Amino acid sequence: MLIDWPGVRARVLRLTPADHTWRELEAPLTPAELDAVQRQLGVELPADYQQFLLHVGRGGPGPFSGVLPVEHVDGEWRWRVDQDYDPNDLTNLAKPFPLRASDWRVAEDIENDCPDPFTFEPRNDYHDEWERWHDRHETTMFNPRRTHGALYICHEGDGLGEWLIVTGPERGNIWLDHRVDGRGMTPAWLPHHRRVTFGQWYLHWLGTAEGGRTGDRSGGPRRAG
């Protein structure tokens, strides 16, 4: 799919901000800045995301909170996450993203094992069992290896977010991160698209916004499964 990225910037600039959460469209990166980003990361970013950075903006409005901007701070390039916890581990982007399909069944199995407080007497036994379950949940679902090769580019709020896969067979695709509510990580999809690239993800949102539904800040692809 050939995308007129300079034209995309013009289309975004014509939009009316949806609400107070609207992220301003920032200046694009220069080619020299993009080269510096990729040298630091040790990887080449997916082609359509490179074109977005060069011709649309280093960050700006998009699904949910918008596309998180890349910035140069204290001599290093990083993505401005605007929350207390930064999910990105930029040192492991060259390692392949490990998932090939949704892991919602793994998440569901762990959620189903969550202890029921009404089956424990005394209550201290429940708390001990819950702590063991919670440790298993965190070490399994939030193991840092699960997001190797992935770049966190959008947060939906309440711990939910979206990743652009940079390395591995899923390179270039958007994955949804709903681990905090027990749904695991899963590839985004649209009708007639079992996988969604960055370009498809962004243009789907833009088309929704241009259709007058800017009050719906998501406009993003759906969760598979």
What percentage of the chain carries pLDDT values higher than 70?
83
Residue 176 clears pLDDT 60, i.e. is over it: yes
The closest of 48, 42, 39, 7 to 153, measured between CA atoms, is: 48
pLDDT, one tens digit per residue, over 104-149 is: 566 666 677 778 877 776 666 777 877 876 676 666 667 888 899 9
Average model confidence (pLDDT) across the chain? 85
Residue 102 clears pLDDT 80, i.e. is over it: no
Distances (CA, A) of 51 to 48, 54, 62: 5, 5, 16
* C-alpha–C-alpha distance, residues 70 and 67, integer Å: 9
For residues 194-200, give the mean pLDDT: 94
* Cα-Cα-Cα-Cα dihedral sign, residues 169, 171, 173, 178: positive
What percentage of the chain carries pLDDT values higher than 90?
55
- Cβ–Cβ < 8 Å for 69, 26: yes
Give the range with max mean pLDDT: 81-85, 136-140, 160-164: 160-164
- Least reliable range by pLDDT among 86-100, 121-135, 138-152, 161-175: 121-135
**pLDDT in the model for residue 100:** 80
- Phi and psi for 207 in degrees, rounded to 5? -65, -40
Q: CATH second-level architecture of 5-102+148-223?
A: 3-Layer(aba) Sandwich (3.40)
pLDDT, one tens digit per residue, over 27-59 is: 999 999 999 999 999 999 999 999 999 999 999
**pLDDT in the model for residue 132:** 77
Residue 150 pLDDT grade (very low, low, confident, very high; cuts 50, 70, 90): very high
**pLDDT in the model for residue 224:** 43
- Helix 104-112 to helix 123-141 angle, to the nearest 10 degrees? 170
**pLDDT in the model for residue 172:** 97
**pLDDT in the model for residue 121:** 66
Distances (CA, A) of 217 to 70, 87, 128: 21, 22, 41
pTM of the model: 0.82
